[in-house]
Amino acid sequence: MIGRLSLGQMRLAYTQVAMKAASLFFVALLCVSAAAQTPARVNGQRIHEHLKELSKFGANPQGGVSRVAYSEADLQGRQYAIGLMKAAGLDVHIDLAGNIVGTRAGSDASLKPLLIGSHIDSVPMGGNYDGDVGSLSAIEVAQTLKEKQITLHHPLEVIIFQNEEGGTIGSQALGEGLDEKHLNLVSNSGKTIREGTRVVGGDPDQLASVKRQPGSIAGYFELHIEQGGTLEREKIDIGVVEGIVGILHSDVTIEGFANHAGTTPMDQRHDALLSAARFIEKVNQIVTSVPGRQVGTVGWIKVEPGAYNVIPGKVVLGLELRDLDEKKFTGLFDQIRAEGEALGRLNQTRFSFTDAVTSHPALTDKGLQKLIDDTAKSLGFSTKVMPSGAGHDAQEIARIGPVAMIFIPSINGISHSPKEFSRPQDIENGANVLLQTVLAFDKR
């Protein structure tokens, strides 16, 4: 038909084709620039699926996991995580402490590495979120960077620390270092830390070389479930952790006199358990007598001889205090000790306290806290700055560089239980905050 078109018609047809091509080109251009401007987001569904897969290793009938470090389930879970890390384009190796380390090169090799990660071992009869959420989200961050073809300036290390629940063993090896006392400890698997470290591919005889120097990392970010109920209760999306509390332990012995429970009149007794009961009440009074978020607990008690018909002659109990401020909990301990001794004199029993064993509080970096807070808010999330009442690998890594932690809500504040649960949306939110914080940190 074209042969019969007039010159005018041909001009019109040409103009129409040209306009159509131009508009198509313009739309394509818009799409490309929109893709470039679309902020990177993690794949929440994928994290959810990975969590489900990981939960199979060491699954217990109650719906949680018993994946204690160095157990068969732990080894299987680690293999699964290694597979995910490789799929995310990470270069994976086991360091001499037995931690799983996946590295991703940055564009500037002169920069110190940026670390993200957590742990996948659990307590006996634990849940599917403590540690797993942070570990799988860190891997998801690497996977997203790979898919979006984003190269960071900093080298990135995704680390899954070994045996967090048995005393932050893997992270301590990097920070303060492990000594003979640590290595001889028997872990929940029945193996010593020394044996277990070998089982997961480390070398306990070469731990000195895995220790990292203070100032050798750019920073460490850890996403974790809150393990308390504050965020859910206050309907807050993201917790910005200001620090991990220090912990003080002391064994308290109360000595009385074991005597016949039938023939000894009430006013002639030296009842160690009665003193212990009054002491436990006193601990609670002292800890709550000052403002603040400090906590104090008597968590175990042993009574001797332990019979219906004998007045208890001896009690040993475990006292624990926690706070972000070490001076505060050591001050409370001094007060508790003085009041305990006074109480003993009053009840004709004798109190003695073992020297306090303390782990120091670890404060997170103020600048990194702000970075997380700003990032979370820019994603539309509400935030709250809060302490962590539980210990984490981040407290050990704080010895070698600036650290920060992102918390997401734990439903009903339950943790270290098969009933532990965090909503998929909260996990996705936390992982996106982790990803965007890493990107923002890298741009600074």
User: Which residue's CB is nearer to Zn ion, number 69 or number 252?
Assistant: 69
Instruction: Report how far residue 35's alpha carbon sits from residue 96's, in angstroms, rounded to the nearest whole number.
Output: 42
User: Which residue's CB is nearer to Zn ion, number 130 or number 442?
Assistant: 130
User: Which residue's CB is nearer to Zn ion, number 127 or number 202?
Assistant: 127
With binding defined as CB under 5 A, does residue 239 bind Zn ion? no
- Count the residues of the shown chain that bind Zn ion, applying the rule CB under 5 A: 2
User: Which residue's CB is nearer to Zn ion, number 221 or number 333?
Assistant: 221
Instruction: Report how far residue 27's alpha carbon sits from residue 18's, in angstroms, rounded to the nearest whole number.
Output: 14
Least distance CB 170 / Zn ion (angstroms): 12
Least distance CB 193 / Zn ion (angstroms): 18
Instruction: Report how far residue 60's alpha carbon sits from residue 215's, in angstroms, rounded to the nearest whole number.
Output: 41
Least distance CB 133 / Zn ion (angstroms): 9
Binding to Zn ion, residues 25-54 (CB under 5 A): none
Least distance CB 129 / Zn ion (angstroms): 9
Q: Which of 117, 126, 131, 202 binds Zn ion (CB under 5 A)?
A: 131
- Determine how β-strand 314-323 pairs with β-strand 295-304: antiparallel
Of 419, 393, 442, nearest to 134 by C-alpha is 393
Tokens 């670390």 sit on residue: 115
List the x/- string, 275-314, binding to Zn ion by CB under 5 A: ----------------------------------------
Least distance CB 215 / Zn ion (angstroms): 26
User: Which residue's CB is nearer to Zn ion, number 131 or number 313?
Assistant: 131
Residues 6+ apart with CB under 8 A from 137: 42, 47, 223, 427, 430, 431, 434
Least distance CB 131 / Zn ion (angstroms): 4
Least distance CB 202 / Zn ion (angstroms): 20
User: Which residue's CB is nearer to Zn ion, number 134 or number 401?
Assistant: 134
User: Which residue's CB is nearer to Zn ion, number 69 or number 276?
Assistant: 69
Q: Which stretch binds Zn ion (CB under 5 A): 131-139, 168-176, 187-195, 239-247?
A: 131-139
Q: Which residues of 367-390 are buried (b: 16+ CB within 10 A; e: fewer)?
A: ebbebbbebbeebebebeebbbbb
Question: Given 3-state DSSP classes, what are the helix, strand and coil percentages for the chain, each rounded to the nearest 5?
Answer: 40, 20, 35
Looking at residue 162, the DSSP 8-state letter turns out to be: S
Binding to Zn ion, residues 71-130 (CB under 5 A): 130
Least distance CB 69 / Zn ion (angstroms): 12
User: Which residue's CB is nearer to Zn ion, number 95 or number 121?
Assistant: 121
Can you list the pairs that 262-265 forms with residues at least 24 positions away whose Cβ atoms lie under 8 Å?
A: 262/309, 264/311
Tokens representing 121 are: 């071992």
Tokens representing 45 are: 């569904």
Tokens representing 37 are: 């401007």
Identity of residue 309: N
Least distance CB 421 / Zn ion (angstroms): 15
Q: Which residue is nearest to Zn ion (CB)?
A: 131
Question: 292 vs 183, 252, 329, 389, 390, CA distance in Å?
Answer: 36, 25, 11, 13, 17
Instruction: Report how far residue 93's alpha carbon sits from residue 159's, in angstroms, rounded to the nearest whole number.
Output: 10
User: Which residue's CB is nearer to Zn ion, number 131 or number 204?
Assistant: 131
By the criterion CB under 5 A, which residues form the site for Zn ion?
A: 130-131
